[in-house]
Amino acid sequence: MKKMAFLFPGQGSQSIGMGLELYQEYDFVRELFDMAEEITKINLSRLCFKGPMEDLTMTVNLQPAVTAVNLACLVAVEKEGVKSDITAGHSLGEFSALYASGAVSKEDVFSLVLKRGELMHRESIRHKGAMHAIIGLSIDDVDKLVKEVQAEGVVAVANHNTAYQIVTTGAPAQVEKVSLLASSLGARTIPLKVSGAWHSELIKGAEDEFKEFLETIFFNTTEIPIIHNVTADFAINSDEIRAVMAKQFCSPVRWYDSMRRLMDEGVEIFAEIGQGKVVAGLLKKILPEDYPCKIYNVNNMKTLEAFLKEIA
């Protein structure tokens, strides 16, 4: 049997109507949404299915909403007896991967992402931030530019998404300056529609609070290995997982390294479990053309049925 990884998207994957087909089809998905709404006190079904997008994309709403859809897709797959061999999630998506790994309960996942969203929102109001995608330069090139500008204010690498797609984060003026320098070297730069400088020192004011909250959550030893954003490596026992998830708040997302690690582990089936195709798109840019694999998306009834049929 070929080794399979479940990958979960994070913020940026959302769209109005996400999760609706599975909600209409399955009682257990409706129960999942009911449970999530009870914990978060947010009408997630209305936001996911009807919007408006302005409300959905507020990070306090978006983090539980994306997680609800990720887990709806996951439980629909698992009800058919399909389990992954390894899992990972991009930034926010790592919390869905935590549940998939068996490290935390469904209820605790929603408590975690609700708290994370509230803290990030609070810090984004206190400290105005920005994020830009830089396309066409390597991580070493972007690191050099970031170091040049860091003396003037907060700026850092937020995501190492592919070999030549890096996201910067920090104070607006410094992020803009790095982008101007990158453009002068021939890179393309894209300002991202975000409300804060995620994965930067500008939200560090909430890191200790989130760490304390993590101490209230019960973590199991993982049943399925999870590759973490911070280390691009595995953490097995509960103390290790709790420590690495505390660091995730302000540390860069090492997605490129994480996907290369999945290659080293011999994964040949990749399934993006959740709305959109962001993670699958990044993966196609990371994997060599001659790497033997299949990439799937599972986010509605059609893609779920196609995936189950293919791997049967």
Counted residue by residue, the chain has a size of 312
Are 7 and 117 within one domain? yes
Are 145 and 17 within one domain? no
Q: What is the pTM of this model?
A: 0.97
Q: Which among 142, 168, 194 is the end of a domain? A: 194
Q: Which among 178, 194, 210 is the end of a domain? A: 194
- Helix or strand (DSSP H, E) at 309: helix 301-311
Per-residue pLDDT of the chain (312 residues; tens, 9 = 90+): 899 999 999 999 999 999 999 999 999 999 999 999 999 999 999 999 999 999 999 999 999 999 999 999 999 999 999 999 999 999 999 999 999 999 999 999 999 999 999 999 999 999 999 999 999 999 999 999 999 999 999 999 999 999 999 999 999 999 999 999 999 999 999 999 898 999 999 999 999 999 999 999 999 999 999 999 999 999 988 999 999 999 999 999 999 999 999 999 999 999 999 999 999 999 999 999 999 999 999 999 999 999 999 998
CATH number for the domain spanning 225: value is: 3.40.366.10
What is the tally of structural domains in the chain? 2
Q: Which among 173, 194, 215 is the end of a domain? A: 194
Give catalytic residue positions: 91, 199
Are 91 and 24 within one domain? yes
- Residue 230: closest CA among 86, 22, 89, 47: 89
Are 106 and 132 within one domain? no
Are 264 and 302 within one domain? yes
CATH number for the domain spanning 136: value is: 3.30.70.250
Q: Copy the structure tokens of residue 111.
A: 């408590």
77 CB-contact burial (10 Å; exposed 0-12 / middle 13-18 / buried 19+): buried
Are 217 and 106 within one domain? yes
Are 121 and 148 within one domain? no
The whole domain housing 141 covers 128-194
Are 103 and 144 within one domain? no
Are 143 and 177 within one domain? yes
Are 163 and 245 within one domain? no
Q: Copy the structure tokens of residue 304.
A: 């779920």
Are 242 and 115 within one domain? yes
